[in-house]
Structure 1
C-alpha cells in the first residue's frame, strides 16, 4: 500500500476529517479508512484529495514509500 500524508496535510490546514470528507464528496469514515491504510482511494479520488489540498498528487501519496 502506498504511503499517504492526509493526516499531516489536514493538520496543516486545520481541517477535521469531516471537513476534508465534505470537500471531496466522501464520508468521514472513508477518510479514516484511507488514513489508516484500510482503503486505497481510486485515482479519481486521489486527484480530488490533491486538489482539495492545492498540492501535487505526489505530495499526498508517496509512490516511493510503501506501508506493509
Structure 2
C-alpha cells in the first residue's frame, strides 16, 4: 500500500488537473502557498490538516477525497 503522502500527492495533482489549474491558480484559490503545493505534489512534505481543508474547499471535494488511497476509491 502506498504511503498516504503519495496518495495525497496523486489525488491533489489529478483534481488540480481536472480544473485545468496551475499550481499558482490553486494557491490563489485556496490560500495555500504555491511552494507548499509543489512540495505536496512532489512528496517533499506532508500537508497540515488546515492545508488539506483549504485545498479540498478550493477543489470542490472533501478532505477525504484528497486522502483516499486509489484502491479504496
Which TM-score band applies after superposition, normalised by the shorter structure? 0.7 to 0.9
Q: Point out where structure 2 has 5 or more consecutive residues left out of the alignment.
A: none
Q: Can you list the C-alpha shifts for 1:3-47, whole angstroms capped at 9, x where unaligned?
A: 211110011000000000111212211111001111111111111
Q: Point out where structure 1 has 5 or more consecutive residues left out of the alignment.
A: none
RMSD: 1.4
Aligned residue pairs: how many?
Answer: 64
User: Normalising by structure 2, what TM-score?
Assistant: 0.77
Q: Which has the higher strand share?
A: 1
Kindly indicate whether structure 1 or structure 2 has the higher relative contact order, using CA contacts under 8 Å at least 6 residues apart.
1
**Post-superposition, which runs of at least 4 consecutive aligned residues in structure 1 deviate over 6 A?**
none
User: Normalising by structure 1, what TM-score?
Assistant: 0.81
Q: Which has the higher helix share?
A: 2
How far apart, in 2, do the equivalents of 1:51 and 1:27 lie?
15
